[in-house]
Amino acid sequence: MELLSSGTAYYLNGQSLYGLRSTPELGGAREKREVTNLLDTAHRYIAGLYRYDDLTFDFYYNSAETNPNVSAGQTAAAFAAARAVELSGASVPQKVQFPDGTYFTWSGQIATKIKRMEPDGVMEFSIISIPNTALVYGSGS
């Protein structure tokens, strides 16, 4: 049965960040390496290492006001938590968990940026994850 994306969560250093609006494509593609030799009549290739693009997660920027839909620990903490990790320069564990309990995990450094704003627009920010480990797919919680 098809699933809605509602209930998808992003975890940074073990903390679920509130306000997730969109996720990037997750997974990687293997590099193609040519192994054609002089006896071949056609080009031949083998799969090389996985390459992961930077992963950009978009969030709504939230104020410190109480939000009855989430816990006090989640409200307004997303940007501050991400910015603290960015400034530390540390490579931290990250996870995206889907509504059915499946997930991707990896570690890497991050960068943050406030997105472009327009009059009467909703404030947003991005977390850009730079993976330094493989993205591992798993199931369960």
pLDDT tens digits along 57-67: 999 887 656 56
CATH number where 88 lies: 2.30.110
Contact call for residues 110 and 15 (beta carbons, < 8 A)? no
Cα-based distances in Å from 91 to 48, 88, 114: 25, 9, 21
Mean pLDDT of 87-101: 96
Indicate whether 4 belongs to any domain.
no
Q: How confident is the model at residue 70 (pLDDT cuts 50, 70, 90)?
A: low
Residue 117 lies in a domain: yes
In a domain, 36, yes or no: no
Residue-range definition of the domain harbouring residue 81: 9-25+54-138
